[in-house]
Amino acid sequence: MKIVTYAIALTLTIGLLSCASTLQASEEEPTVLEAPQLLFLNYEMKTYGNKKSISLINQVTTDGRLKQHINHNPNPDLGDLECVILDKDSNILETYSIKNPLLKIVEYINDSGHFEKKILNLDYAQFSLKLQLNAKAAYAVIHEINPNGNIKLKTTKIE
């Protein structure tokens, strides 16, 4: 009986050892995929007579993904803004258009109880851009759409 028990134990041990992997362990590190990131650019725009200026308030980069690609304004008008995302070699990666932040449309109820719209021309406004950050993005350039050609207002280095 002892010989049968030893024979079964030996057969099981040999069977388990034969199932062991013969592959060599790889010493290469797995490639780590970077998480998608969002870029928030916050600006202020001022006008002095016919001259406009834009300055960066701050830029924030955080992990996340846009639910969908948003074109802020698919049909830009004169005076609207265009944000162009460039790589380090100044190749265009993406383009976004933005309604003129200095023009605000206000709806209100007049004395007769009807809705009316009024367009306000502001001298100062803040606006924000929320973009899916492209790994190759290096600069964000904001232009004003003008009948004589786009006027560059601000170039921001993406950090």
Q: Are 38 and 118 in contact (CB under 8 A)?
A: no
Q: Which residues is 151 bridged to in the sheet?
A: 144
Please give the pLDDT value at position 33.
47
- Per the CB < 8 A criterion, the answer to whether 64 and 38 are in contact is yes
Say whether 109 sits in a helix, a strand or coil. strand
Tell me the pLDDT of the chain averaged across its residues: 83
Model confidence band, residue 67 (pLDDT cutoffs 50, 70, 90): confident
Q: From start to end of the chain, where are the E strands?
A: 37-48, 51-63, 81-86, 92-98, 103-109, 115-121, 124-132, 139-144, 151-157
**Residue written as tokens 């057969």?**
11
Q: Hey, is 18 helix, strand or coil?
A: helix
Please tell me the distance from the alpha carbon of residue 102 to that of residue 52, in angstroms, as a whole number: 10
CB contact at 8 A, 115 and 109:
yes
pLDDT in tens, 90-138: 999 999 999 999 999 999 999 999 999 999 999 999 999 999 999 999 9
Cβ contact 143:151 at 8 Å: yes
Looking at this protein, which amino acid is placed at residue 135? A
Which pLDDT score, from 0 to 100, does residue 42 have?
97
DSSP state of 111: T
**Confidence (pTM):** 0.70
Distances, alpha carbon 79 to alpha carbons 11, 129, 153, in Å: 85, 17, 12
> What separation, in Å, do the N-terminal and C-terminal C-alpha atoms of the chain show?
77
